[in-house]
Amino acid sequence: MSVRYLSCGDTAFSVEFGNEISPQINGQVMALHAAVGRAKAAGALGGLVETVPSMRSLMVCYDPLSTTRAELQPQIDALIARGLPADAAGRTVRIPCCYDGEEFAPDLAEVAERTGKTSEQVIAEHLTSPFKVYVLGFMPGLAYIAGLEPSLTLPRRPQPRVRVPRSSVAIAMDMTTIYPFESPGGWHLIGRTPLWMFDKRREQPVFLAPGDSLVFERIDRARFDAIASEVEAGKLDWSLFYSDWSELITP
Amino acid sequence: MSALTVVRAGLFDTLQDIGRIGYMALGIPTAGAMDRIGLSLANALAGNPPNTAGIEIGVMGPDLLVNAESVRIALAGPLSPTLIEGADAAPKPLESDRSHLLKRGQMLRIGMVEGASTAYLTVSGGFAVPPFMGSLSTYARAGIGGLEGRKLAAGDSLPIARDTAPAGQEHKLAAPFDYGSGSIRVIWGPQDDYFSAAGRQTFVSSEYRVSKEADRMGIRFEGPTIEHSKGADIISDGIGPGAIQVPGAGLPIVLLGDRQTVGGYSKIATVASVDLPRLGRLLPGLTVRFSAIGVEEAEGLRREQEVRLARAIASFQAARPAGGIDLARLYEENLIDGIVYEREAVR
C-alpha cells in the first residue's frame, strides 16, 4: 500500500492513506491507529506520544526529546508493511433516539420535504443507515458519523442556529452527529438522544470512539425521560448501550 | 484547608500543566502551558517536578491571600508584583524569576505581565486540585480541568498541598532565559502543496503582525495574503501544536494549546517546537517573520534548548528571603560590609 508521510513540525507527522472519504480508507486509518496502540502497549515505538485518526489520515505525535522522525517513521512503515486488517474491530454502540415533536426534531419535516420523503421514511432510513464513527473533534466528544443513507444528503443549514441543545441528533452531508454540549450548530436536527456524548463525571468522559459502529434505536418520549433522568443523576449503566466490545481504541 | 484565596481576579488566569496528553483521538484538546519554559522554570524554582500545574497568568494577574501557615511560591516571567505583609503595611516590591516564602495573611498582588502575554506562578508541593483525564490543565471551552474548568475568579480558593513550606533556601534565576530572537522557525507542511510557489514565498518573506485575536487557542496574524493553489479546504485531519492554517482569506493562524484536534483548512507549515514558547508569549501588535527549516534541524534545536533549560535550572542562585537577612549568603559573599540588604531596602 502506498501512503504519504506529511510533516507536522518536529513533534508529529501524518500518514495519509488517500484524498477521499471512504469506508475503506478510514478503515485503514483505524487499523493503523489500533496497530500503533497495540505496539505501544507492548513496549515498542519508544517516544510515541499518541495518534490522532481522522477521515483519511493518522497523525502520529512524538516527543523529539525521546525519538526522532527518522527513527519513528520506518517503524510505522513496518507496521503498515506487515499488513493492516481491512476493518479494525470496533464496538457496536446503540443510541436510543426520540424523533418525536417539534422540540426534539425541529428540522424533520423540512428534511422530509427537501428529500421528497415522509417524516416516517426519513426516520426509517436514519434507523437503518450503517453508521460508523470516522473522527472525533471540533469539540470534546463530537463525532463525525458517516454512513447516512445517500438520499438524505443535504448541505448544512445556510444560517447556523446559535443554540443547539445538548444531545441533539442531526444530519448534514453524508453524515450524522450528536451534539455533546449546547453549542452553535448548522446541521439539521431530527431527534434527540437521552445519552450524553461527554460527561465529565464519568471515568471515560467521552462516550463514542473512532471506529465505533452505530445503530440508532427509536424510543418514545416516556422512555427518553426515563433514561434522561438516570443520565442526569449519573446512575445510568452505560454498558447497556454498547455490545461486541472488543477494544476501546486509544493508544 | 490551606489555600491561596483569590481576592481580586486577573484577566486570564488558569491552572495549566504540560497538557492533557493522550486523548486527542477522542476530540480532547491538550491545552497546557502556552510557555512550557516559563512553567518549567517556575516549577524548578519552587522545587517541584516539571509537570506540576501552576497558575498561567495572562496579561494581568490576581491578588492572592495566603491562607496557610507558610507557602513557598515561585514566579517566572516579566512581572513586578508586590507583597502586602499586613493590614496597614505598605506594598513592598517583589522580584520575579525567583522563589519567595510567604506567610499567613500576606497578600501577593501579581499585577501586569510586562512585555509578554504570559507568566507563571507555582507553589511548592503544587495545588491540591484533582486532575481531569490525567491533567490539571484548564480547557475553558469545554469547562474541564483546573478549578471548575474555568479561569480564576474573585472568591476562589485554590487549595495547596502543604500547610507549611519545607525549610530551605530561596532561589533565583541567574539570568533571564534566552527564548531566542529573529524569525520564528517553521517546517513546511503538512499541506504546503496546497499553496502556490508565490504564496509560500510570501509567507517566508513578509512581516506578520499579531492581531487582537490571540488567545490560548491560537494567534491570528495580519499581513500579506498567502496564495493557495489547490484551495483552502481539505478533508479534515489532525492538527499538531504550532500548525499554521491558512483559511480562504489567506492570512495565517498559528494554533496553540487549546486548538481543536482536527480541522479542515490547509496548513502551510508548523512552528518548530523550539519556538512555541516564544509564540506563547507574543503580545498583539508585535510583528514576526517566519523562516523554514528542516525537521532534523528543528529536532536538534529543541534538544539544544532543553539542555540550556537544564543548565539554567542547575545554575539557580541562592536568593535572600523577602525582608530578611540571608546569613548564608552574607557569609558567602559579603563578609565585610554585610548590611547590603538593609541598604537596598532604604534606597
pLDDT digits 0-9 by tens, B13-71: 999 999 999 999 999 999 999 999 999 999 999 999 999 999 999 999 999 999 999 99
CA distance B4 to chain A (A): 25
User: Which pLDDT does position A11 carry in this prediction?
Assistant: 98
B284 cis-preceded (ω within 30 degrees of 0): no
Select from B25, B142, B190 the Cβ nearest to the Cβ of A14: B190
Mean pLDDT of B102-123: 96
- pLDDT for A250: 41
Alpha carbon of B167: minimum distance to chain A alpha carbons (Å): 33
Whole-number pLDDT of residue A192: 98
What CA–CA distances, in Å, run from A109 to A112, A152, A156, B107?
5, 13, 16, 61
What average pLDDT score do residues A180-195 get? 94
- DSSP code of B280? T
Q: Which chain A residues have a beta carbon less than 8 Å from that of B31?
A: none
Nearest to B240 among A11, A69, A144 (CB): A11
Q: Which residues of B touch A141 (CB under 8 A)?
A: 26-27
Mean pLDDT of A193-215: 92
The answer to whether B263 contacts chain A (CB < 8 Å) is yes
Could you give the dihedral angle defined by the CA atoms of residues B108, B110, B111 and B117, in that order, rounded to the nearest 10 degrees? -170
Q: Write the DSSP symbol of residue B141.
A: G
**The predicted structure's pLDDT at residue B343:** 37
Distance CA(B289)–CA(B306), nearest Å, equals 24
pLDDT mean over B59-87: 95
pLDDT tens column, A33-77 = 999 999 999 999 999 999 999 999 999 999 999 999 999 999 999
Contact B63/A91 with Cβ under 8 angstroms? no
Q: From 2.60.40.10, 2.40.100.10, 3.40.50.11240, 3.40.50.300, which CATH number describes the B184-303 domain?
A: 2.40.100.10
Give dist(CA A177, CA A126) in Å, integer. 11
Ramachandran region, residue A133 (left: φ > 0; alpha: ψ -120 to 50; beta: rest): beta
Contact B33, B257 (CB under 8 A): yes
Rounded-to-integer distance, Cα B275 and Cα B285, Å? 18
Contact yes or no for B187 and A10 at CB 8 A: yes
**Interval B270-289: pLDDT, tens:** 999 999 999 999 999 999 99
Q: Give the DSSP H or E segment for A114.
A: helix A108-115
Q: Which helix (H) or strand (E) holds B83?
A: strand B82-84
Which of B25, B272, B302 shows the shortest C-beta gap to A136? B25
Cβ separation B296–A142 shorter than 8 A: no
Q: Which residues pair with B58 in a beta bridge?
A: B118
**Nearest CA-CA distance, residue A118 and chain B, Å:** 32
Longest dimension (CA), chain B: 74
Decide if pLDDT at A195 tops 50.
yes
Of A55, A59, A198, the CB nearest to B240: A59
- Which residue reads 475503506 in cell numbers? A24
Mean pLDDT across A192-211:
93
Question: Cβ–Cβ of A141/B271 closer than 8 Å?
Answer: no
Examine the pLDDT at A160 and tell me if it is beyond 90.
no
Contact B28 A206 (CB under 8 A): yes
Please determine, for residue A96, whether its predicted confidence score (pLDDT) is greater than 70: yes
Q: Give the three-class secondary structure for B297.
A: helix
H or E segment and range at residue B199: helix B197-205
Cβ pair A138:B243 closer than 8 A: no
Note the pLDDT of residue A87: 61
Name the class of domain A4-81: alpha beta
Position of cell 504546503?
B192
| Closest-CA distance of chain A to residue B96, Å | 29
Question: How confident is the prediction for chain A on average, in pLDDT?
Answer: 92
Nearest-CB residue to B299 (from A6, A64, A138) = A64
pLDDT digits (tens, 9 = 90+) for B194-248: 999 999 999 999 999 999 999 999 999 999 999 999 988 899 899 999 999 999 8
pLDDT for the residue B336: 44
Asked if the Cβ–Cβ distance from B240 to A9 is below 8 Å, we say yes
pLDDT in tens, B121-179: 999 999 999 999 999 999 998 899 999 999 999 999 999 998 999 888 999 999 999 99
Q: Is the pLDDT of residue A134 over 50?
A: yes
- CA-based torsion, B321, B323, B328, B330: positive or negative: positive
> Measured between CB atoms, does B307 come within 8 Å of chain A?
no
Q: Where are the domains of chain A?
A: 4-81, 92-239
Whether residue B140 contacts residue B87, with contact meaning beta carbons closer than 8 Å, is answered with: no
The pairing of strands B92-93 and B82-84 is antiparallel
Whole-number pLDDT of residue B335: 46
Q: How many helices (H) and strands (E) does chain A have?
A: 6, 14
B177 to B35, B38, B268, B277, B287: CA distances (angstroms): 12, 9, 30, 11, 21
Among A6, A7, A10, A13, most B C-beta atoms within 10 A, so best to mutate, is A10
Instruction: Please determine, for residue A32, whether its predicted confidence score (pLDDT) is greater than 80.
Output: yes
Q: At A225, which amino acid appears?
A: D
Average pLDDT, chain B: 92
| Domain covering A92-239, topology | Cyclophilin (2.40.100)
Read off the C-alpha cell for A22: 471512504
Instruction: Report the greatest alpha carbon distance in chain A.
Output: 59
Strands (E), B223-261: 233-238, 243-245, 253-255
pLDDT band at A162 (very low <50, low <70, confident <90, very high): confident
- pLDDT band at A159; cut points 50, 70, 90: confident
pLDDT at res. B65: 97
Q: Is B304 on the interface with A (CB under 8 A)?
A: no
Distance of residue B110 Cα from the nearest chain A Cα, in angstroms: 32
Instruction: Please enumerate in sequence order all residues whose Cβ is within 8 A of that of B11, keeping only pairs 6 or more positions apart, or say none.
Output: B58, B59, B60
The pLDDT value given to residue A91: 86
Residue of B18, B20, B24 best to disrupt the A interface, most CBs of A under 10 A: B24
Residue-level pLDDT at A129: 96
CA distance linking residue A118 with residue B79, whole number of Å: 65
Of A46-55, A241-250, B69-78, the one with minimum mean pLDDT is: A241-250
Q: Is the pLDDT of residue B86 over 60?
A: yes
- Is the CB of B141 inside 8 Å of chain A's CB atoms? yes
Identify whether the C-beta of residue B108 lies closer than 8 Å to the C-beta of residue B66.
yes
Report pLDDT for A90. 74
